[in-house]
Every structure is written in C-alpha cells, then in structure tokens.
Amino acid sequence: MAAMSDDFAAAAASLPDSFRLLIRESAESTNDELRLLAEAGAPGDTVLIALHQTAGRGRRGAAWFSPAGEALAFSVLIRPEEPKALWPRLALAAGLAVAEAVESFGIGAGIKWPNDVWIGRRKVAGILVEAGRDFAIVGIGLNVRSAGFPAELSEIATSLRMEGGREIDRPEALAAVIRRLALRGRQIGADFPEMLESVRQRCVLTGHRVSLETSSGPQSGRVAGIGDSGELLLETGGSVRSFIQADGVRILDGCG
C-alpha cells in the first residue's frame, strides 16, 4: 500500500472559504498556541494543526495520547456572534461535527457527553473547548491511523483505521471535520434545537447508569437524556437533576 502523503497544504484548498489553515511541525499544545494568536487578533475560523503535538491535554489537564503521524491534533478559533452564555454548546457542536465526519467514512459513531466521540465502546476523539475574552478555542484530538494503543489504553481507545479496516488520509479526515464544524459551530443559537436532536440521536449515555464528578461533588444515576440547553439529565434519588458541566463520566452498567 502506498504511503499516505499528509499533504495538509493541499487539503486546505478543500476547506470552507472562511477557514485558514496554519501548519506547525511540532507544538506543545495547539490550544495554547492558537490562544496566543487569538489574543493578537487572529480572525475567526483560523485552524492550527500540529503534525506532532507533544503536550496535548483534555479536560482537567488529562494528557492526550497523540503519536506523530497517527493522530490529528488541531484547534479551531471561533469568534461567536452568540452571547457567551451559549458558548458551552460549542462542545456539543464539535462532538457532533466529529461524529458526522467519522460517519462520512462509513463508520458509526456516538457522542459521550460532554466531550468525547466513541466508536462502539471505545474513544476515537476528545474535544476541549476553552473560552477567551471574545473568542473560543475548540481543540480536537482524533485517532486516525493508529493500529494499536499502549496496554493502559487498549480497552478504551480506538482509531479510524482499526474500525474502518483501511488507511484514511489525515488531511482528508481534517477536512471532513472542518466542513461539519463550519455548519454545526454556527448552530449554538437559534438553530440549536435542530443540532441538539442530532446529538441526542447519537448520545451513548442515555438509558445507562453513570457516575460523574460535578461542582457539587460525585453523582450517580440513570441518564434520562440531554435537556433543551444541552445539559445532561440524571435521574437520581427519585428526581431528575441537570448538569451543564461534569467530568469523569463513567458508565456503570457494563455497556461502556
């Protein structure tokens, strides 16, 4: 099989008109580097990709496994027109965009609220949204070419190659995500109900018992679904509570 070319410069031509791609051979964190550019006035829809990311992170500072030449590590600068109170919806928009991009390669995908994309019971992508004064940075890590993972990740991680049974070009995967994000990232306002329905259809938590860490402490219960503002609805103690943010979400009933 011919080697993949990773011609990201050529792939840039297939991005929506407003998007501009910046390529770095190496970066500690694409979110951090793009934040500096945003604070210096970089326009919205700037995409920064690192061919090798050395210190990628997820929520709460967790490390992101991103081997050179295998995974995609990139960040997108968004300058939303919507009120800042709606910006947390960008995590759902990005998760949906990634899931739809994965599906475009013939691979079924699900969304693990609030920030992961799963194939079956394994994670294929993680998303980290960080807000600035007048901008948001959407960081995405997507496992594309990996044929395997370290022992500690082998039961919980997967890649497009492992699930699709073929090599997928990383620039092609990047372009697929950006094309979907160009649509979904603009649906956090008036069009949010339409986007939310697509998220709900892919939610892998609904109906399962879960545990999670919240600002009010550990919680557990059965997920009743996703509320109208994108919050997780948790049945616990005979009532339904809503959580707009949470960490460490784990399925407890053997289904993930």
Which helix or strand (DSSP H or E) is residue 225 part of?
Answer: strand 217-226
Angle at 128 between CA 203 and CA 64, to 5 degrees: 100
Highest CATH level, class, for 209-251: mainly beta
Q: Residue 67: what pLDDT?
A: 67
- 3-state class (DSSP) for residue 159: coil
Query: Torsions phi, psi of 40, nearest 5?
Result: -90, 0
Residue 2 banded pLDDT, cuts 50, 70, 90: very low
Cβ–Cβ < 8 Å for 127, 95: yes
Domain boundaries, the chain: 8-202, 209-251
Q: Model confidence at 57, in pLDDT bands (50, 70, 90)?
A: low
In terms of average pLDDT, the best of 51-55, 166-170, 252-256 is 166-170
pTM value is: 0.91
Q: Which of 19, 81, 73, 78 is nearest to 49 (CA)?
A: 73
Q: According to DSSP H, which parts of the chain are helical?
A: 8-11, 30-39, 89-103, 160-164, 170-184, 192-202
Phi, psi of 164 (to 5 degrees): -90, -15
Q: With pLDDT > 70 as the criterion, what percentage of the chain qualifies?
A: 91
pLDDT at residue 253 in the model? 85
CATH superfamily, region 8-202 = Bira Bifunctional Protein; Domain 2 (3.30.930.10)
pLDDT of amino acid 65: 58
Q: What three-state secondary structure class fits 95?
A: helix
Give the model's pLDDT for residue 56: 58
The tally of CA atoms less than 13 A away on the side-chain side of residue 127 is: 27
Intrachain domains 8-202 and 209-251 with the same fold = no
- Average the pLDDT over 190-204 and give the result: 98
The residues that bridge with 118 in the sheet, in sequence order, are 110, 123
